[in-house]
Structure 1
């Protein structure tokens, strides 16, 4: 749902940035759902990660998918993405395959899109002797074993990440996520949705926790992916406490984003290293990487993609808290958030739930969930005690949307897997650990056989 524009008139003032973000507002009838999910490719013969080059590499996967009508996107001589019908397939730094879905009206449509994509990926992967799996963290590979994809922005990020946190390279190379991008109607609607998204993102993390292994062994976490984000880069991650302050709106978000250090500027088909430099200086024509030059809106849009809070605002809102997972959960994540924030009654119920949470409580919740998941404490209960009513609110919101498929079923069918989770109190990570300790007898390779798409 985003891309880098390579030209445009220079930005003259901050109000243009505010207006650009506000311009994303749409009437409710035009709200759409954009689902994104990443997955790990692996070699079937030895379960190792997939390099970019070679007869069985990521490039071969991308070339193979072109038979389904996908058009290539090049960076230099390398295919680094595919595009078709408003959707794209792109590469994360460690070769994680990402589908960025088209903006669609219903969960039925977005789930159908996911199913078609996975079928296409399976077709090509089988020919190449590859498989794909959905987890929040690569369960067996060491960081140094993971190949790096040939994208210029990733070289800049790899050099900068270790300056800001201990786990940024792991975030780049060994994590996968599923997220949903949702629209807002107005500034007030954006504020309401963002506050709900930030406050409740740890609950989504717990419901979708699916990364309990590191380098072949249990790591002590329900979502190691979520833990990694806590030690990646404090400048651009977290819960944005200022979003809960009186008067928050697009202008306040822009002010924050202006001071988050940049990674790069894209000019003449190449990435220019601007890591650690200020977009505020860029706006004033004082960027050291491009002295005297001012940004255009494509630069601003690209900068916003390098900010990584738990929920992110561009011209829509991105929900970013969930581990990658199996097929049903790729559909459950958009169903959960659509049920909570696309129905007025459900959104009001969520706002009422979180209205008296303090910044300290929100942060404590975010800190506890990666290790404890649904068992993380909150006030006089646990995250599971929050998750149960939220799944009910989402279910009711989906019922009121009354978006049915050709068989007359509404979107609540996609949240059934979460009802089972809150009924049992068991996360996907719990199921993985149980299998590892019992059915698999400590043989982590069984994971690839049982959980691959």
Structure 2
């Protein structure tokens, strides 16, 4: 997230929080696609991570992109920590360990999404090349230890870094040593949100398997296909994972609000300063927990939207839905991940088919799959079926959904062309992580260093 929200609109009731989420409903013809992708910055000569400060640095990359794009700089305690497009549609941000992220504009089709990501990467390469900087597109940092990984001077990250070891064993690895591709998608009504949340929550671990690309840690195999997926199993389970109440037949915006109210906060922003609020839930905050401690103790809408951004379930509900299950990956996967979900969720027939396919999956089935996928990938099972077989069915449904949308490029191709990387995974019966392991044990001669050359942007 590039910029935390400042909105002084006072809030005094739970209903106002529910109404805020419901305000995201929009007609289907206005649905858009917002794609985010992260990548590791490294120096070409020695594969070391790029620090924040210096002539060749993360801050220098941001300043160079600012000059090239004329986007507005986002400043935190005097440091540039992101950029925002003038119309507020797109943004560039940095993750805690210097992972460089594009939060794409809400676009109408996947052809536009792919053009956007290609333009971003081309512009970034132009800025980075004179500094000797390149970018790696996989899901987990393959070489650097936590101590070797730089820390970005962003106020919310300092609060999170102090808090994470209190609530899980892998939160710092999540922050500093993982990358993802995500897509943000719309809903038209509470019922539409409910169905999309249910289907995507059930299938999120399938996306983890299909996009698994984090088999290395600190220079050697870690015994997993998606280290990133395993990290999320013990990061902060009060605010992450599968939400069982999302499977209820009457699940609605208020259910999510009631859950969010009882999750500890990270911070509030007052006068441009971040105040650590990890010792209270949002419900306690609304009940006056800060009264007498600060002058502006009353909660406002900016506090709520910022709190929503610090919740990490497998599918996150804001005024849209965020698909959060996939590892980062090479450039073709930046287009494949949104294609997978758009095909499933933006065509009603496809959505109904995916709903029917997963109808008999219990919460326990879904959690069990989430627990086994990081190690087993597509060899995991769900409700008595091999996940590879399920994946074939789901990708087929997604393709039908994309074809039904009939969004064509200049060559007459519909959006289903972006599923090709997943077709290759299914044909080989092997994930990218398994390809990387084969290379490591073969041509790479038990070294992870070639990954920086062969899988860079």
For Structure 1 versus Structure 2, the TM-score category normalised by the shorter chain is over 0.9
**Separation of aligned partners in 2, 1:309 and 1:222:** 21
Give the corresponding residue for 2:348.
344
**Separation of aligned partners in 2, 1:197 and 1:290:** 41
How far off is 1:405 after superposition? 1.1
**Separation of aligned partners in 1, 2:438 and 2:294:** 54
Give the corresponding residue for 1:131.
134
Give the corresponding residue for 1:74.
75
How far off is 1:423 after superposition? 1.7
Say if 2:37 and 2:180, in contact at 8 Å, map to a contact too: yes
Say if 2:270 and 2:296, in contact at 8 Å, map to a contact too: no
Instruction: Give the 3-state SS of the residue equivalent to 2:147 in structure 1.
Output: helix
How far off is 1:6 after superposition? 2.2
How far off is 1:165 after superposition? 0.5
How far off is 1:187 after superposition? 0.3
Say if 2:220 and 2:447, in contact at 8 Å, map to a contact too: no
Give the corresponding residue for 1:122.
125
Instruction: Give the 3-state SS of the residue equivalent to 1:266 in structure 2.
Output: strand
Instruction: Give the 3-state SS of the residue equivalent to 1:145 in structure 2.
Output: coil
**Separation of aligned partners in 2, 1:63 and 1:180:** 26
Give the corresponding residue for 2:90.
87
How far off is 1:359 after superposition? 1.3
**CA gap 1:14/1:291 in 2 versus in 1, 3 angstroms:** farther
Say if 2:2 and 2:93, in contact at 8 Å, map to a contact too: no
**Separation of aligned partners in 1, 2:229 and 2:73:** 32
Say if 1:3 and 1:302, in contact at 8 Å, map to a contact too: no
Give the corresponding residue for 1:269.
272
Give the corresponding residue for 1:29.
29
- Of 296, 301, 304, the match for 2:305: 301
Say if 1:262 and 1:276, in contact at 8 Å, map to a contact too: yes
How far off is 1:247 after superposition? 2.1
Q: Give runs of aligned pairs for residues 136-215 of structure 1, distance below 5 A.
A: 136-215=139-218
Give the corresponding residue for 1:256.
259
Normalised by the size of structure 1, how large is the TM-score? 0.98
**Separation of aligned partners in 2, 1:183 and 1:274:** 30
**Separation of aligned partners in 1, 2:438 and 2:284:** 52
**Separation of aligned partners in 2, 1:118 and 1:276:** 40
Instruction: Give the 3-state SS of the residue equivalent to 1:72 in structure 2.
Output: strand
How far off is 1:409 after superposition? 1.1
Superposed CA offset, 1:84-106 (max 9, x none) = 24110001000000100000000
**CA gap 1:257/1:76 in 2 versus in 1, 3 angstroms:** same
Moved more, 43-52 or 1-10: 1-10
How far off is 1:79 after superposition? 0.5
**Separation of aligned partners in 2, 1:287 and 1:336:** 44
Say if 1:223 and 1:371, in contact at 8 Å, map to a contact too: yes
Give the corresponding residue for 2:401.
397
* Alignment root-mean-square deviation, CA: 1.3
Are 1:324 and 2:319 an aligned pair?
Answer: no
How far off is 1:125 after superposition? 1.1
Give the corresponding residue for 2:438.
434
Superposed CA offset, 1:368-406 (max 9, x none) = 001110111223332111100100000000000000112
**Separation of aligned partners in 2, 1:292 and 1:178:** 37
Instruction: Give the 3-state SS of the residue equivalent to 2:52 in structure 1.
Output: coil
Say if 2:2 and 2:91, in contact at 8 Å, map to a contact too: no
**Separation of aligned partners in 1, 2:429 and 2:355:** 24
Moved more, 374-383 or 242-251: 374-383
- Of 367, 379, 384, the match for 1:380: 384
Instruction: Give the 3-state SS of the residue equivalent to 1:144 in structure 2.
Output: coil
Give the corresponding residue for 2:58.
58
- Of 97, 100, 105, the match for 2:103: 100
Are 1:367 and 2:359 an aligned pair?
Answer: no
How far off is 1:442 after superposition? 1.0
Say if 2:9 and 2:302, in contact at 8 Å, map to a contact too: no
Say if 1:332 and 1:418, in contact at 8 Å, map to a contact too: yes
How far off is 1:213 after superposition? 0.2
How far off is 1:290 after superposition? 4.3
Give the corresponding residue for 1:334.
338
Give the corresponding residue for 1:443.
447
| Long gaps (5+) in structure 2 | none
Give the corresponding residue for 1:44.
44
Say if 2:2 and 2:84, in contact at 8 Å, map to a contact too: no
Aligned length: 453
How far off is 1:3 after superposition? 4.7
Superposed CA offset, 1:222-248 (max 9, x none) = 100010011100100111001112321
Instruction: Give the 3-state SS of the residue equivalent to 2:416 in structure 1.
Output: helix
| Long gaps (5+) in structure 1 | none
How far off is 1:2 after superposition? 8.1
Superposed CA offset, 1:20-54 (max 9, x none) = 10000000000000000000000112111111001
